[in-house]
Structure 1
């Protein structure tokens, strides 16, 4: 049982963000990525997620605002940490924010809507990889901060599903350890104790 799709899914890896560079996806490739991202299970057809594109100079502006927020929370930053925050969104040529959007529904629980957003984020990663780009999905400290979410363009009732950094990667991507299936798979044997 071999196919190009199975081979692709079996070998997918996340590239280190600090090793990404241009070029990033074109406008038409971004549209393709987002079209694929929106083709996920979505009980009730609620589209309980949305996408924010961080590209160009906006990535640098976000970094400046994150430095200010980090210093408000922690005091003056050492130069290495300051540089880290300053470049959070400018290391890769494109960052796609996947945002959980509340869509109340009497029969569909919030956790299911959040999982739909997670599926949309994974489709962003897969579509970017399928187009030949490197991708890495993260959230980071600012996702848990109301002011961090506001800086990043989220409304007060929205939450971060993830930020997918997309760009070009040269060279080999490190293969991280994966779980052994015998540790995570079991046959059903009745109710849990």
Structure 2
């Protein structure tokens, strides 16, 4: 089996990670490689935002504001971005184009996010792509400083893989159920 097939086959979501996280400098070559996804028109309609430290607290506050919660429920929601030391926001940053539809640009941004999650996993990091009903709320848009042409696709929660980790089990599929001929 090739190294690529092996790496992809080992990918699992890690809902719990340790406090270790890759540095900005460690992320740069991975982002460069993730940028190799198919990109019709070479528009690069995406960007990534590192969310670390107190920025995670501000994101939690934005989630609470968007949900309109108070008390214990607000505190639980505000703590969600603290589950990892590093969150990477995946943003589709649509470009004006006569030949590349918005959905294609969304697909490119999602491809970059998925590719980055595979690369991080291959480097030994635990990763989970998280979204939710508040992902595209106005308070979250504001705290992430999104432009009018941008939409948040979610966050990669990144950290070390716990020693006692039991990552989620992905059921195998029958590929014939999903691959057909015309």
Root mean square deviation, CA, Å: 1.7
Partner secondary structure for residue 158 of structure 2? strand
Unaligned 5+ segments in structure 1 are: 189-193
Cα separation, 1, equivalents of 2:79 and 2:18: 13
- Of the three residues 111, 125, 137, the one matched with 2:129 is 137
Matching residue of 2:34: 37
- Of the three residues 77, 94, 108, the one matched with 2:86 is 94
Matching residue of 2:76: 84
1:2-59 deviations in Å (ceiling 9; x for gaps)? 123211211211111xx11211002221112221222211111111111111011111
Matching residue of 1:160: 152
Partner secondary structure for residue 29 of structure 1? helix
Aligned length: 180
- Of the three residues 166, 178, 182, the one matched with 2:176 is 182
Greater C-alpha radius of gyration: 1
Cα separation, 2, equivalents of 1:141 and 1:152: 16
Cα separation, 1, equivalents of 2:148 and 2:173: 36
The answer to whether the 8 Å contact 1:15/1:136 transfers is yes
Cα separation, 1, equivalents of 2:92 and 2:4: 28
1:63-102 deviations in Å (ceiling 9; x for gaps)? 123223322xxxx4451x3233212222111111111112
Cα distance, 1:178 vs. partner?
Answer: 4.1
Change over 3 Å in CA distance of 1:156–1:173 after alignment to 2: same
Q: What TM-score do you get using the length of structure 1 for normalisation?
A: 0.85
Cα separation, 1, equivalents of 2:9 and 2:151: 30
Change over 3 Å in CA distance of 1:87–1:178 after alignment to 2: farther
Unaligned 5+ segments in structure 2 are: none
4+ residue segments displaced more than 6 Å? none
The answer to whether the 8 Å contact 1:24/1:94 transfers is yes
Cα distance, 1:106 vs. partner?
Answer: 0.8
Cα separation, 2, equivalents of 1:106 and 1:3: 39
Cα separation, 2, equivalents of 1:89 and 1:39: 28
Change over 3 Å in CA distance of 1:175–1:45 after alignment to 2: same
Matching residue of 2:19: 22
